[in-house]
Structure 1
Amino acid sequence: MSAILSVDDLNDFISPGVACIKPVETLPSAPPPPTDGGLEHEVILDGQQPQSQTTAPAQISLTDCLACSGCVTSAEAVLVSLQSHNEVLNVLDAAPALRVRGPDADGKYMVDGLEDDSAKLFVASVSPQTRASLAAACGNGVTEQQAGRMIEQLFMGKDGLPSGGKWGNGFTWMVDTNTARQACLVLGADEVLGGALEPSKNKPVTPILTSSCPGWVCYAEKTHPYVLPHLSRVKSPQAITGTLLKTVLSRKLGISPDRIWHLAIMPCFDKKLEASREELTDAVWNGDGKPGRGVRDVDCVITSKEILMLAASRGIDFFGLSATAPPLPQPSFPDPTTHNFLFPPKSRRQSRAAGTSGGNLHFILREVQSRHPGSQIQTIRGRNADVDEYTVNAASGETIFRAARYYGFRNIQNLVRKLKPSKPSRMPGGKPFGSARRANGKPAGLEHAYVEVMACPGGCTNGGGQIKIDDEIIIDRKGFTAKPGPQEQKEWLAEVDEAYFSADEPDVGAGQGVGTGDGGPGEVVDGISPSYIRDTLAHWSSITGIGLDRLVYTSYREVISDVGKSQTETERVVQLAGKIGGGW
């Protein structure tokens, strides 16, 4: 969960065992104590003694947290609880999987098993942060790329999920979200700087804020709706991957999108919330363009931790899967251009300067630099390790672009305060309320054109769904005799980050803005050819008959909290979520 309300150092998410400061009046009533009544309940940290020996500690599960709309609305409690490793196994065992054959001599594909209405075509996508987390858990020098092969073995190989279950089902395709991320980077740069892929309508206002972190988006929608006009309209890599898979496969194979089951493997529990958004369904791209309760582009999200739980549920030792075996061959995707995009011969790897959260800000800075030959990027360190400011200065010394990075909810609080609009004064001639001014007389606020915002301190490799140093399996593998502390966790995160960058680095010279920056065929920015990405996206739109505005952009809305409202309704949702297996 998002760490909107956490009060300890791990301010990226709330999980069982982390102090909750929300009032408990919206939770189901506890039975009265056997002795004199009137005792209040107290939420305590794991291993911490209660403040009063006469106060009974409240047992707060994650299902309870989901029902408290301080984090998510009660309706989302049910949606999120449906996504788990158990759900993956249940769907795999429901019916024989659909099988794709082809292409034939005419280039057509056939789908076997459509007579069974329960049969699905299984596809999966995996994030680089998940691969890094599992690589660190493996140890012994296993790289992020090798961990990815182990994940492929689990979902597609003969020793993985296809070796068991009622039908022996596995996944037909498994794609790397890094490919969709390249599209996100080019789309984001055009949105900020202007270009061929700039949104035709509803363009965000400056400063434009990253929207690929669902914890941050959830927080903005529920607590600071005045921030929503600033959010980037570009979908996240998870969302673009889901839309790409569902649209191309349904169109090319002639099957309904609900026959395609897409699993995303992510570093963050909040990605489960993103997958549940009505803005990311076929109601948008296959309907009237408006959000609705259609077929989700991402049917289920599991995290890095849940990969190990999934393997264990089938009696598979994940760490026993081969990390050195050659990558499993991916079947031919039913469109050659899309196949080449999803399964490139050599994957692009980010430089360390791009960070571990996808490199949105880094790519935009490089794009600005490519459009202004001779310019230089300057970094200004902030008040802590999770805040930085950046400027791109022309050869003459003039500042031509300003940007910033804000990670972690404590820093995000400062960001949203700077964006809060002033209120008109009730006094005649009075200054607007909240319109603080700097010494130079200019209004306080942000002068940046772009801000990269992530909920997790340290970035996405520190996501709430990542494997932690104090997880039992890591304690056993590392041979700790005592529970690891904060220093060990810090060292562990360094191992995960190192694994994230363990694959091949970008080619020498990548990111130097080769070419004129006008989208020509010779242009390469940070290892990406924007012209190739634009051509690929145009091809996607043409073969599906869907406009890019529906394929790659999304929208946001203010969410009204139900805290303090009908307790009966909240109790009903909690009970329903519990019955369907809510919580982890």
Structure 2
Amino acid sequence: MSAILSADDLNDFISPGVACIKPIETLPVQQADNSNAYEVTTEEKAAAAEPPPPASISLTDCLACSGCVTSAEAVLVSLQSHTEVLTTLDTYPSLRASWLAHNGTNGVANGYASSGVINGVNGHGTEGKLFVASVSPQARASLAAVFNVSEVEAGNMISQLLSGPSGLKSGGLQGSGFTWVIDTNVMREACLVAAADEVTNALSPAASKVSPKPGSEGAIDTTPKAPILTSACPGWICYAEKTHPYILPHLSRLKSPQALTGTLIKSVLSERYGIPPSQIWHLAIMPCFDKKLEASRGELTSAAWLSSHDSSQEKIRDTDCVITAREILHLAAARGINFASLPRSPLSSSDRIPFPDPKLDAFLFPSSRRKNQNAVAGSSGGYLYHILQTYQARNPGSSISVVRGRNADVVEYSVVQGSETIIKAARFYGFRNIQNLVRRLKPAKASRLPGGKTGISRRPGAASAAAGEGVKDYAYVEVMACPGGCTNGGGQVKVQEVDQVRIYEGIQEPNDDAPAPKPGPKEQKEWLSRVDEAYFSATDSEDENMDGERHPTNEYPADEDIVDCISRSRMKHLMAHWSDITGVQEQRLLYTSYIKVESDVGKKKQSDMERVAGLAVTAGGGW
């Protein structure tokens, strides 16, 4: 269990949970007793009987149970923590760099034969693993604010910890470290382009004529209906699946950057190196605990994209472990590494092992970093704003109108041209605003009164109905569970922890004479503004081209459409290339599905007597 998860973190509780079903399901099956059924049991025999083992609850179990509806921070996890990272590094040696460097394109036959690899590792009987990490810009911004460095420098410090000579590989039983550390911003570019295409396809006249089959509303091969709701926030997705299944037809089918990065890493490396996905271990460093929940979804495993997968094979998760910005500090401390003293410069390029595909290597590890979106796009990836910019680029002369709602976390956007509104969209952050959103999207029930109109429901006040119609006019809604967006995730360093971290890291002297007062909401808000400043202040490298193209090439058309410095043509070529080298359809790589989660937890179960009595009454009989 993560040591930093506690009841104090539950600041967005939705409703009281009822009894968890998992302990009941995990009780041991009673074995047949061959002893005399009429034998009296003595106290000695009763005391000698072995008690049942304690129930083990995992994130996957919690996904299958609708008894609790809180944020994923309430889930007590045992497998996704900094301790699990260290345990895995100490258990499995890294695949040797020499083998990767010289056999990255030869496949399993040449690679294993020429280097003498046994179970993927030279000279080791234990199966080796290929360690890969991905880091979100929000987590980097949190650490940047703590250590008073830039977001880029914070990213370099994380890379030095995970892959550098003075990082994790300098200790441990195996001396294992991470071969690649990937910035999720590059995969987010693919998500943004795909999100804009998804909205365009959903709003097309052809899509409006197709109705999904009953029971397939959240399937991967269906087109979401407007308003399309963002799917990148797993806390919001969990809430929708368990409590409001009528939302499923509206959810975007697009994978999050974390999930898409995991799919790319495991599918490409498995194909290029000829190793099973189980030998590739993906760590994600994210801003919130909800991402641990996302990594545990059964839909985000090798079964979704591995062509040779059958039901009898083990499903390998695309993301094996998720830790947060706070946990990355615990990770360094557990190995006795002073995070503040780590080099702020990037890793030496001479020691970097190329990703086993030139195009994807140039994509994942660009020669210059692209800055995060500007403040108007928000701190949650900029899905909504990129879609608005895409429609603005298609309609020269149009402009984006912004209207604030009842609070700062509810904002309405429109792309307008003269008096014409081309598209309307909105942003809803925080569970209070989300609950208001889903209430407006709830389908109207037919009146049961004689002569009542079909499709009309009794709702208090006409204003509520009008508000519901307004929400349904949106083409896209960016939904995030955390107020203020992803930089305010539950796994970020909180304001009350900053001084403690700085004192521990040796960059601040303790002040025992005048202890600082306990920070309140005002101080937390001010701290969040500093994290946002670090997030938005990251600048482009000087050698980046003005059009945003980081890898000049003549392979793509000169008149490609560029939105927010992202080349849509280049991105589509890369996704098609990914599909070609893995032999998997793009739909299975980029998209996922959602399901209605049902449970009998908290419901009164009908006894056999009640069931028989009900059948008798139905048949016209009685007692």
What does residue 167 of structure 1 align with? 174
The structure richer in helix per residue is 2
The reply to whether residue 154 of structure 1 matches residue 161 of structure 2 is yes
Over 3 Å counting, the alpha-carbon distance change for 1:107 and 1:233 in structure 2 is closer
The reply to whether residue 404 of structure 1 matches residue 404 of structure 2 is no
Unaligned runs of 5+ in 2: 22-56, 208-218, 549-555, 606-623
1:498 pairs, out of 521, 526, 533, with 533
CA offsets 1:466-494 (integer angstroms, 9 cap, x no match)? 11011262474666622222221111111
CA distance in 2, matches of 1:299, 1:85: 12
8 A Cα contact 2:423 2:475, kept in partner: yes
What does residue 449 of structure 1 align with? 475
2:337 pairs, out of 305, 316, 333, with 316
2:383 pairs, out of 353, 360, 363, with 360
| One-letter identity of the residue aligned with 1:313 | A
CA distance in 1, matches of 2:12, 2:433: 20
8 A Cα contact 1:351 1:505, kept in partner: no
CA offsets 1:100-154 (integer angstroms, 9 cap, x no match)? 4355499536364526453211111000001000111112xx1000000000110
CA RMSD in angstroms, aligned pairs only = 3.5
1:414 pairs, out of 428, 436, 439, with 436
What does residue 202 of structure 1 align with? 222
| One-letter identity of the residue aligned with 2:300 | L
1:249 pairs, out of 269, 280, 283, with 269
Cα distance, 1:81 vs structure 2: 2.4
| One-letter identity of the residue aligned with 1:322 | P
What does residue 49 of structure 1 align with? none
CA distance in 2, matches of 1:299, 1:15: 27
CA distance in 1, matches of 2:545, 2:451: 60
8 A Cα contact 1:269 1:465, kept in partner: yes
| One-letter identity of the residue aligned with 2:88 | V
CA offsets 1:365-386 (integer angstroms, 9 cap, x no match)? 0000000000010001111010
| Structure 2 counterpart SS, 1:81 | coil
| Structure 2 counterpart SS, 1:280 | coil
Cα distance, 1:519 vs structure 2: 8.9
Question: 1:82-97, aligned counterparts within 5 Å?
Answer: 82-97=79-94
| One-letter identity of the residue aligned with 2:530 | E
| Structure 2 counterpart SS, 1:283 | helix
The reply to whether residue 136 of structure 1 matches residue 145 of structure 2 is yes
1:341 pairs, out of 339, 359, 363, with 363
Identity %: 53
8 A Cα contact 2:164 2:347, kept in partner: no
Over 3 Å counting, the alpha-carbon distance change for 1:103 and 1:323 in structure 2 is closer
8 A Cα contact 1:406 1:451, kept in partner: yes
| One-letter identity of the residue aligned with 2:328 | I
Over 3 Å counting, the alpha-carbon distance change for 1:218 and 1:102 in structure 2 is closer
Question: 1:455-466, aligned counterparts within 5 Å?
Answer: 455-466=481-492
CA offsets 1:524-570 (integer angstroms, 9 cap, x no match)? 10010000000000000000000001000000001124542699xxx
CA distance in 2, matches of 1:462, 1:313: 25
Over 3 Å counting, the alpha-carbon distance change for 1:24 and 1:422 in structure 2 is closer
The reply to whether residue 307 of structure 1 matches residue 328 of structure 2 is yes
The reply to whether residue 70 of structure 1 matches residue 90 of structure 2 is no
8 A Cα contact 2:326 2:492, kept in partner: yes
8 A Cα contact 2:66 2:599, kept in partner: no
The reply to whether residue 271 of structure 1 matches residue 268 of structure 2 is no
Cα distance, 1:424 vs structure 2: 1.0
| One-letter identity of the residue aligned with 2:96 | R
8 A Cα contact 1:127 1:266, kept in partner: yes
8 A Cα contact 1:469 1:475, kept in partner: no
Please say which structure displays the higher CA radius of gyration.
2
| One-letter identity of the residue aligned with 1:409 | F
Over 3 Å counting, the alpha-carbon distance change for 1:543 and 1:15 in structure 2 is farther
| One-letter identity of the residue aligned with 1:194 | N
What does residue 496 of structure 2 align with? 470
Over 3 Å counting, the alpha-carbon distance change for 1:194 and 1:505 in structure 2 is farther
What does residue 26 of structure 1 align with? 19
CA distance in 1, matches of 2:156, 2:561: 32
Cα distance, 1:20 vs structure 2: 6.0
| One-letter identity of the residue aligned with 2:500 | I
8 A Cα contact 2:409 2:483, kept in partner: yes
CA distance in 2, matches of 1:68, 1:191: 30
8 A Cα contact 1:133 1:496, kept in partner: yes
| Structure 2 counterpart SS, 1:194 | helix
CA offsets 1:299-355 (integer angstroms, 9 cap, x no match)? 000111100000010011111112145666531111111101101111221222211
CA distance in 1, matches of 2:379, 2:366: 21
8 A Cα contact 2:168 2:177, kept in partner: yes
Over 3 Å counting, the alpha-carbon distance change for 1:25 and 1:415 in structure 2 is closer
Cα distance, 1:69 vs structure 2: 3.3
8 A Cα contact 2:286 2:324, kept in partner: yes
| One-letter identity of the residue aligned with 2:80 | Q
| One-letter identity of the residue aligned with 1:214 | P
CA distance in 2, matches of 1:482, 1:290: 58
| Structure 1 counterpart SS, 2:299 | helix
Over 3 Å counting, the alpha-carbon distance change for 1:238 and 1:23 in structure 2 is closer
CA distance in 1, matches of 2:18, 2:364: 49
Question: 1:172-191, aligned counterparts within 5 Å?
Answer: 172-191=179-198
| One-letter identity of the residue aligned with 1:315 | G
Cα distance, 1:24 vs structure 2: 7.0
| Structure 1 counterpart SS, 2:153 | helix
Cα distance, 1:428 vs structure 2: 2.3
8 A Cα contact 1:73 1:561, kept in partner: no
What does residue 295 of structure 1 align with? 316
CA distance in 2, matches of 1:413, 1:128: 28
Over 3 Å counting, the alpha-carbon distance change for 1:205 and 1:521 in structure 2 is same
Q: If the length of structure 2 is used for normalisation, what is the TM-score?
A: 0.75
| One-letter identity of the residue aligned with 1:82 | L
8 A Cα contact 1:351 1:501, kept in partner: yes
CA distance in 2, matches of 1:443, 1:428: 26
CA distance in 2, matches of 1:410, 1:70: 17
CA distance in 2, matches of 1:441, 1:403: 17
Q: If the length of structure 1 is used for normalisation, what is the TM-score?
A: 0.80
8 A Cα contact 2:414 2:423, kept in partner: yes
Cα distance, 1:97 vs structure 2: 1.5
CA distance in 2, matches of 1:403, 1:428: 39
The reply to whether residue 534 of structure 1 matches residue 572 of structure 2 is yes
Over 3 Å counting, the alpha-carbon distance change for 1:330 and 1:434 in structure 2 is farther
| Structure 2 counterpart SS, 1:189 | helix
| Structure 2 counterpart SS, 1:392 | strand
Over 3 Å counting, the alpha-carbon distance change for 1:508 and 1:149 in structure 2 is closer
CA distance in 2, matches of 1:528, 1:354: 15
| One-letter identity of the residue aligned with 1:401 | I
- Of residues 440-449 and 485-494 in structure 1, the stretch that sits farther from structure 2 once superposed is 440-449
CA offsets 1:238-279 (integer angstroms, 9 cap, x no match)? 000000000000000000000000000100100001000011
| One-letter identity of the residue aligned with 2:443 | P
> How many residue pairs end up in the alignment?
511
- Of residues 470-479 and 244-253 in structure 1, the stretch that sits farther from structure 2 once superposed is 470-479
